[in-house]
């Protein structure tokens, strides 16, 4: 297999939650592989846009609060209007709320499940309809990459709605793959392990927890957003045309221990 199988030149991608961390790492990796980007989120992604453009690729920003499905159709139409079409969707945006299961509130449940699972599905649906239309004409495949979690496989503690939503992401990934593979769309997911980002800064600075985490990871280090970016490039490329409904753990061996 040649490196051309991983080339994304001319491809157009939507990445949600692309302003920092894993989303930024994925956006940059896709750009380095040749894709143009629509960066979607409720806060500015100026830094990500600058890094994408430094790769010689185009990047636009679409402001949208993905806590509900209200902006979904607008996000897709803006991306298509600006980029011409959408070949790749990376559903990265997500939130987490923490509390004991005995005390967990309905508001915290709904906020997390709506963002992490409901919006993911309906954004995939909207992009999927677009992909089905052009894929039959162009003879190319669309790629949807969902961001799952270690808690797609494990239970965790004090994050009931997050665990439920990320388990749901795994299930939806498989369902959509089953339905959309014949329509020219690959649907897969990435389950990141412990990645060094702003969101995990508190864990990294906690000496005890950091040591416990490192002892569990065979690689002996925290992951970098670029590690997730490489997996996203693979799943978005022709090299993964025969990969369907798979949840790729990028965890330094966490699940293997």
Do the Cβ atoms of 27 and 52 come closer than 8 Å? yes
Q: Where are the beta strands (DSSP E) in the chain?
A: 12-16, 36-41, 59-63, 88-91, 142-147, 185-192, 247-250
Question: Residue 196: what pLDDT?
Answer: 93
Distance of CA 72 to the CA centre of its chain: 16
Residue with tokens 């799943």: 235
Question: Residue 1: what pLDDT?
Answer: 56
Do the Cβ atoms of 185 and 135 come closer than 8 Å? yes
What residues act catalytically? 162
Distance of CA 114 to the CA centre of its chain: 16
Tell me how far apart the alpha carbons of residues 16 and 107 are, in angstroms, rounded to a whole number.
23
Question: Residue 2: what pLDDT?
Answer: 59
Q: What is the torsional sign of CA 42, 48, 53, 57?
A: negative
Question: Residue 136: what pLDDT?
Answer: 66
The DSSP symbol for 209 reads: H
Question: Residue 3: what pLDDT?
Answer: 77
Q: What b-and-e string marks burial along 182-206, b requiring 16 or more CB atoms within 10 Å of the CB?
A: eebbbbbbbbbbbbbbeebeeeeee
Q: Which two tokens stand for residue 15?
A: 């990445």
Running along the chain, 257 residues long, what does each successive block of 10 average in pLDDT? 86 97 97 98 97 98 98 98 97 96 98 98 98 80 98 96 98 98 97 91 90 95 96 98 98 97
Class of domain 3-192+225-245: alpha beta
Tell me how far apart the alpha carbons of residues 193 and 221 are, in angstroms, rounded to a whole number.
11
Question: Residue 94: what pLDDT?
Answer: 96
Question: Residue 243: what pLDDT?
Answer: 98
Question: Residue 74: what pLDDT?
Answer: 98
SS3 call for 59: strand
Q: Are strands 36-41 and 12-16 parallel, antiparallel or unpaired?
A: parallel
Residue with tokens 């369907």: 244
Rounded to 5 degrees, what are φ and ψ at 185?
-125, 130
Question: Residue 130: what pLDDT?
Answer: 96
Q: Which two tokens stand for residue 6?
A: 């991983």
């Amino acid at each position: 297999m040649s490196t051309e199988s991983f080339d994304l030149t001319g491809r157009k991608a939507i990445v949600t939650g692309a302003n920092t961390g894993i989303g930024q790492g994925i956006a940059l990796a896709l750009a380095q592989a040749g894709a143009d980007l629509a960066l979607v989120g409720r806060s500015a992604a100026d830094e990500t846009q600058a890094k994408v453009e430094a790769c010689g690729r185009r990047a636009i920003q679409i402001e949208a609060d993905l806590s509900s499905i209200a902006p979904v159709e607008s996000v897709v139409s803006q991306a298509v209007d600006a980029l011409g079409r959408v070949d790749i969707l990376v559903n990265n945006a997500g939130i987490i709320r923490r509390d004991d299961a005995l005390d967990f509130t309905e508001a915290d449940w709904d906020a997390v499940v709506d963002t992490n699972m409901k919006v993911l599905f309906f954004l995939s649906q909207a992009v999927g309809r677009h992909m089905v239309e052009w894929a039959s004409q162009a003879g190319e495949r669309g790629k949807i990459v969902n961001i799952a979690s270690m808690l797609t496989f494990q239970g965790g503690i004090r994050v009931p709605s997050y665990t439920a939503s990320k388990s749901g992401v795994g299930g939806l990934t498989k369902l959509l793959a089953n339905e959309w593979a014949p329509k020219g769309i690959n649907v897969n997911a990435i389950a990141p392990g412990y990645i060094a980002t702003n969101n995990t800064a508190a864990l990294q600075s906690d000496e005890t927890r950091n040591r416990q985490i490192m002892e569990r990871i065979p690689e002996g280090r925290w992951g970098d957003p670029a590690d997730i970016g490489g997996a996203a490039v693979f799943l978005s490329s022709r090299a993964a045309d025969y990969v369907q409904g798979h949840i790729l753990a990028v965890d330094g061996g966490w699940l293997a221990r």
